[in-house]
């Protein structure tokens, strides 16, 4: 799986090997991605390498920097970012992305002066009121129904797409499904926010923003940041296998987002705007 996973020797201790036995384990890769807007170092986020262009599109959209793929004139990895210890020559780490915004797109005044860990959210909008002002899409106008049975089937579809998690047990996942439950895109990352940004970036690059009628399924806790990203991407239904936070539910209530948590087996809890989900 390339740079998504790596192998490492470990000592395993269990009931059959109380003295320990040598083995090889698979680990999820975590590397920084520096995002540069023109000459400015805008942000650095820790992520699992792969689908970086989608990640940047989704991240910049959630930050309000871009409204669509046409707002980015070019995106390329910077060459010569480090010096090879063996050859002394510059080499590409594929960890620095240079973004040139299109003419007429105003860059942000300053860059983020912090490295974003894979565990924390990156939110350019701090309040629900500001989020509603920033949103380009009216989720309440999206009345495409989704069957409850379809939503309940999505965790299995997400799990089947989690190749890195199957090897490492260390990655989060997010997936976009059609109203009929068809898997449109699935992405994994050590950061659940990065996984969502990659899916949103895919949607933007493939003409699905807003993602009308679609369901965003996530593998972990549903916090405010994930609700925010769903609203800004025009995704009307957000579902997860774990619990939402109070602020995520409040955000969903006030923006028209349908939010479902604890989607497991034959049950789920719909916290906000349940009218989209068709029950028997």
Strand 72-77 and strand 96-101: the pairing is antiparallel
CATH number, domain containing residue 238: 3.40.140.10
**Residue 60 vs residue 92, higher pLDDT:** 60
**Tens digits of residue pLDDT in 162-177:** 999 998 998 999 999 9
Q: What are phi and psi of 149, to 5 degrees?
A: -60, -35
| Residue 188 within a domain | yes
CA separation for the pair 124, 232 (Å, rounded): 11
Q: Is residue 230 part of a domain?
A: yes
Question: What does the pLDDT average to over 28-38?
Answer: 91
The confidence score (pLDDT) of residue 109 equals: 73
Q: Which long-range contacts (CB under 8 A, 24 or more apart) does 52-56 make?
A: 52/94, 52/97, 53/97, 53/201, 53/205, 54/187, 54/197, 54/198, 54/199, 54/200, 54/201, 54/202, 54/205, 55/189, 55/194, 55/197, 55/198, 55/201, 56/97, 56/99, 56/201
Q: Is residue 245 part of a domain?
A: yes
Domain encompassing residue 180: 139-278
DSSP label at residue 222: B
Residue 112 pLDDT more than 70? no
Is 120 assigned a catalytic role? yes
Q: Between 263 and 129, where is the model more confident?
A: 263
172: nearest Cα among 100, 220, 241, 244: 220
Question: 38: Cβ–Cβ under 8 A, 6 or more apart, which residues?
Answer: 99, 100, 101, 107
Domain membership of residue 110 (yes or no) is no
Share of the chain above pLDDT 70, in %: 88
- Give the 3-state secondary structure of residue 227: helix
- Among candidate residues 78, 120, 123, 214, the one labeled active-site is 120
- What does the pLDDT look like over 222-271, one tens digit per residue? 999 999 999 999 999 999 999 999 889 999 999 999 999 999 999 999 99
Number of structural domains the chain divides into: 1
pLDDT of residue 123 exceeding 80, the answer is no
Residue 39, in any domain of the structure: no
Highest mean pLDDT among 114-118, 131-135, 245-249: 245-249
Is residue 16 situated within a structural domain?
Answer: no
State pLDDT tens for residues 186-224: 999 999 999 999 999 999 999 999 999 999 999 989 999
Place of tokens 């940004």: 197
Residue 66 in any domain: the answer is: no
More confident call, 144 vs 279:
144
273 is a domain residue: yes
Backbone angles phi, psi at 234, to 5 degrees: 70, 30
Per-residue pLDDT tens for 39-85?
899 999 999 999 999 999 999 999 999 999 999 999 999 865 566 66
Place of tokens 């996530």: 218
């Amino acid at each position: 799986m390339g740079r998504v996973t790596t192998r490492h020797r470990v000592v395993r201790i269990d009931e059959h090997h109380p003295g320990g036995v040598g083995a090889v384990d698979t680990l999820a890769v975590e590397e920084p991605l520096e995002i540069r807007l023109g000459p400015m170092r805008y942000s650095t986020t820790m992520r699992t390498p792969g689908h970086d262009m989608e990640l940047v599109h989704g991240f910049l959209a959630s930050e309000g920097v871009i409204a669509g793929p046409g707002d980015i004139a070019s995106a390329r990895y910077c060459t010569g970012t480090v010096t090879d210890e063996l050859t002394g020559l510059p080499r590409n780490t594929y960890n620095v992305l240079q973004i040139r915004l299109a003419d007429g797109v105003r860059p942000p005044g300053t860059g983020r002066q912090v490295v974003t860990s894979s565990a924390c959210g990156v939110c350019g909008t701090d309040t629900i009121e500001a989020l509603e002002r920033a949103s380009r899409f009216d989720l309440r106008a999206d009345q495409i129904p989704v069957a409850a049975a379809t939503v309940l089937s999505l965790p299995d579809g997400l799990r089947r797409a989690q190749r890195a998690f199957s090897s490492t047990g260390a990655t989060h996942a997010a997936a976009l499904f059609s109203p009929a439950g068809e898997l449109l895109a699935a992405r994994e990352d050590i950061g659940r926010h990065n996984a969502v940004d990659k899916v949103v970036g895919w949607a933007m690059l493939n003409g699905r923003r807003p993602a009308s009628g679609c369901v965003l399924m996530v593998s972990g806790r549903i916090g405010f940041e994930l609700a925010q990203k769903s609203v800004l991407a025009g995704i009307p239904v957000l579902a997860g296998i774990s619990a939402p936070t109070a602020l995520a539910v409040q955000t969903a209530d006030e923006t028209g987002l349908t939010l479902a948590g604890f989607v497991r087996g034959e049950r789920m809890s719909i916290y906000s705007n349940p009218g989209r989900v068709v029950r028997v």
